[in-house]
Each structure stands twice: as C-alpha cells, then as structure tokens.
Amino acid sequence: AVFAQIAACEPQVQSYLALTEESARKTAALVDKKLAAGEELPPLAGIPIAIKDNLCTEGVTTTCASKMLYNFVPPYSATVVKKVEENLLPITGKVNLDEFAMGSSCENSHFQKTHNPHDLSRVPGGSSGGSAASVAAGEAVLALGSDTGGSIRQPASFCGIVGLKPTYGAVSRYGLVAFASSLDQVGPMARSCEDTAMLFSAISGADEMDATSCDRGHRADYRDYLARDVKGMTIGIPKEYFGEGIDEEVSAAVMQAAEVFRSLGAQVKEVSLPSSPHALSAYYIISSAEASSNLARFDGVKYGYRSEHYQNLQEMYVNTRTEGFGAEVKRRIMLGTYVLSSGYFDAYYKKGKAFQSALCAEFDACFADCDFLLTPTVPQTAFKLGENVDDPVKMYKSDICTVPVNIAGLPALAMPCGRDSQGLPIGMQLIGPHFGEDVLLSAGHRYEQ
C-alpha cells in the first residue's frame, strides 16, 4: 500500500531520493514468514519506514542531498539503520533534505524540491523535509530524521506530524553524516506520539561506536509510560516564546493547548528564559564552526564528487569544493572558518560556548519546578516555496524556538495543535529535562486523546 501511495504522490510531493522497494519487500516477506511460523516479532516488524539521506545505508547511496556525495555508497550502515533492520521494519528508501542538513525548507537540496502535502505550493520545512512529507503523504508510516537546530521538529510542525528530538546522547550518531557534532541527534518522526514512542524505543540506547551515547534514562518500551497522568504536572510557559515575531494564530493555538493540559489537571505557569533571544546567534556560530571542520573531509580524495578541472592537487581540492557544495553549505563553511580563525575565536566561538552554559542554567532553573515547558515549534506555518530563498537571515529566523533545545542538549517533542486560517498545521513544542522523553511522550499522548 505504501509503494502504491508513493507511485501516486511522488510526482507532486517528491520526498524520495532513492527507493529500496526490493529489499523492503524482502523484509516484509520475512515478517510474513515469521508470523506464519508463529514466531514472536518485535513490535514494529513490518512497518514501512523512510530514512533521511544523511544516514549511512550499506550498499545504498547516501547523498546528503549534495552533489559532493551524489554517488557515495557507504560500506556500512548507521547504528540506527541497523537497529531499524534488526526490528524488521522494511526500509522504503532514502528521503530528501537540505544539503548536509543545512536549511529550513528542503530547498537547499541539490536534487529536487520536496513539496508540502498539505499545500503543494509550500515547503515541507527542513532539513528533514523529505522525512516529514513522506509520513504526512502516507508514503511511509514512520521516518528517521536528524535535528541539529530544529530539523526534525520544524518540518514535523509544517507537515502536521509528530517529531522527537531526543536528549543529546540518547541515540547513537554513528553513521549520521556529521553537521555539528555537539548538537546533532537522530530522532523519530511519525503520525502519533504512540508511534513515536515505539520508534524511539527501537533506536535509542548506548552504542559503543558513539562515545557520546549513553543509557541514562533509557526505557526498553516507552509505550509503558504513555498512560501516565498529566494531573499534578507543572507546565512552564516561557514568556520569551510568545512575543514579537511569533504569528498570533500560532501563539493562540499553543495557549489553547495549554488550556487543554490545564483541563487535564496540570498546573500552568509563566516562566522565563531571558537568554533565549541570543540563541539564534550562538547557534549559527557554534553549528557553523563545527560544520566547517566536519566538512573539511570532502575534498575529492576519499568520497564522491571530484572536479575534472585541475592541474595539481591544490586545484583539485579547490575546484572539487567549489563545484561540489551548494551556496548555503559554502556560506556555513565560510562563516565557521571565520569565527574559528585566530584573533576571532574569543570574540565568537568562545562567547557562543559561554552563552551555552548560561542558557543551560536557565533551563535547569525552570525544570526545578516544571515537568516540561510548552512553546510554539516554529513562529509561523509553512511558507511558500521560493519565499525565503534570497534572504538567509529570514530563513534562519524560523529556527528561533527550536535551537535553544539543541544548545542545551535537551529533548523536545513537536506535535500538531491545530490549524491556521488557511488550514495549515500549527505545531507546539514540549521541552523536557535531560532524558525526560517519557514525560514528553506521555503528555503528548494524553493531549492527542
């Protein structure tokens, strides 16, 4: 059914960069065989899943939506991909993203523009736009995305689905092509909190291949916590997330959701995260600095694209990178190289890191008496294709509510909370303390009901 839906929707939606129908059918057949033999199956066995194309898949192209990796076939699979396979989920294919996960609209893909299934003239969000659009269009039941500054939550919000950015370290990053290593996390995207909880159970936990991963707070099955009552919980509303720049329809919908939580027995109170307005600047300094270092490996020697125009080694490097990277990736590399260069390190990167400590302390203060915080996911609903392409700063502003979470390494759940006057989905964000995914998923689940 999913492949029939792909055949029907792909000409308009364009979420897939590669289909892996043959291997998906093999996995499905294996599940059928095990079922017939009466074997016990993992809970998600047979559920079709799409994989963001910055996660390595052995034997299947992993392009990061970049010309630089147009022909890259990894010799190994990411830990999360292996876990998906062990749990017998048929992988439908690799889905579109902004090049190297840099962007908020999927328009930075070298290959194609993905469209929002709710309104084809609009973007699906980014960078995990292919993941979100494929789930929203029924071209996959589940998807994996990655979130460095909102890339799971913002597209989930634009496409009206659920997305979880896990606590830093809760999910292995081994085999995720690195963008900003101190912020990147892989996470689940789905149509409900229950589905999200199931996929999160399957992919989370410590991995010896990623030294930053750990088992703290890990639950074998997050579904066991979904029935938890919201009654008695305290929800913080950070006032900085409802002011200037946030669309009125969006803040009204999130406030309405707060009322729903209140009616379920939660206490709702205003809190403050005074440093938040600086989070965007800090994010674009830290993430670009790390990206400039991580992307140094793409030089035409080991991976993917190599320029045909060169006389010597230096020219080969330069021309490969000039021709292989798109404009946004080059912008980040230049910005990152600049902030790390001698003489500027103290003024930018060091300040960014100091800001990180200050923001963490503010979040900690909120969690001293709040179970979770409630904010909009994005200041507005999905914008039109082409609307922000010539204005990078305007594009960056759509990350204003999501980046503080990555800077502080916290978990956050994005989920639908209504529609605007044009019928476009509005998303809310539940932010939890470190390793508090169970609290977020149970509160989200109660809200859905």
- Give catalytic residues, as residue numbers: 52, 127, 151
Check binding of 104 to ligand GLN (CB under 6 A).
Answer: yes
Which of 125, 135, 119 minimizes the C-alpha distance to 155?
125
Check binding of 54 to ligand GLN (CB under 6 A).
Answer: no
Q: Decide whether 153 or 434 has the Cβ nearer to ligand GLN.
A: 153
Check binding of 102 to ligand GLN (CB under 6 A).
Answer: yes
The 3-state secondary structure of 16-76 reads EEEECHHHHHHHHHHHHHHHHCCCCCCCCCCCCEEEECCECECCECCCCCCHHHCCCCCCC
Q: Binders of ligand GLN among 219-278, rule CB under 6 A?
A: none
Task: Choose the binding region for ligand GLN from 9-17, 142-150, 256-264, 380-388 (rule: CB under 6 A).
Answer: 142-150
Q: Decide whether 28 or 101 has the Cβ nearer to ligand GLN.
A: 101
Q: Give the binding-site size for ligand GLN (rule: CB under 6 A).
A: 13
Which of 431, 426, 422, 444 minimizes the C-alpha distance to 379?
426
Check binding of 187 to ligand GLN (CB under 6 A).
Answer: no
- The angle, 0 to 180 degrees and rounded to 10, between the axes of the packed helices 193-203 and 437-448 is 160
Check binding of 185 to ligand GLN (CB under 6 A).
Answer: no
Tell me which of 117, 149, 169, 409 binds ligand GLN, using CB under 6 A.
149
Q: Decide whether 371 or 437 has the Cβ nearer to ligand GLN.
A: 437
Least Cβ distance, residue 444 to ligand GLN (angstroms)? 20
Least Cβ distance, residue 233 to ligand GLN (angstroms)? 28
Q: CA-CA distance, 66 to 82, in Å (whole number)?
A: 23
Check binding of 157 to ligand GLN (CB under 6 A).
Answer: no
Token readout for 53 is: 């194309």
The CA angle 148-207-130, to the nearest 5 degrees, is: 35
Check binding of 429 to ligand GLN (CB under 6 A).
Answer: no
Check binding of 101 to ligand GLN (CB under 6 A).
Answer: yes
The CA angle 204-74-112, to the nearest 5 degrees, is: 90
Check binding of 92 to ligand GLN (CB under 6 A).
Answer: no
Q: Decide whether 287 or 320 has the Cβ nearer to ligand GLN.
A: 287
Check binding of 179 to ligand GLN (CB under 6 A).
Answer: yes
Is cis: bond before 127, omega within 30 of 0?
yes
Q: Decide whether 147 or 438 has the Cβ nearer to ligand GLN.
A: 147
Check binding of 147 to ligand GLN (CB under 6 A).
Answer: yes
Q: Decide whether 233 or 279 has the Cβ nearer to ligand GLN.
A: 279
In 310-436, which residue ranges form alpha helices assigned H by DSSP? 313-324, 327-340, 349-367, 392-397, 403-407
Please count the CA atoms within 13 angstroms of the CA of 34 that sit on its side-chain side. 14
Check binding of 400 to ligand GLN (CB under 6 A).
Answer: no
Q: CA-CA distance, 407 to 374, in Å (whole number)?
A: 17
381 touches 248 (CB < 8 A) = no
Please count the CA atoms within 13 angstroms of the CA of 307 that sit on its side-chain side. 19
Check binding of 107 to ligand GLN (CB under 6 A).
Answer: no
Least Cβ distance, residue 427 to ligand GLN (angstroms)? 15
159 touches 133 (CB < 8 A) = yes
User: Which parts of this chain interact with ligand GLN (CB under 6 A)?
Assistant: 101-104, 127, 147-151, 179, 287, 399
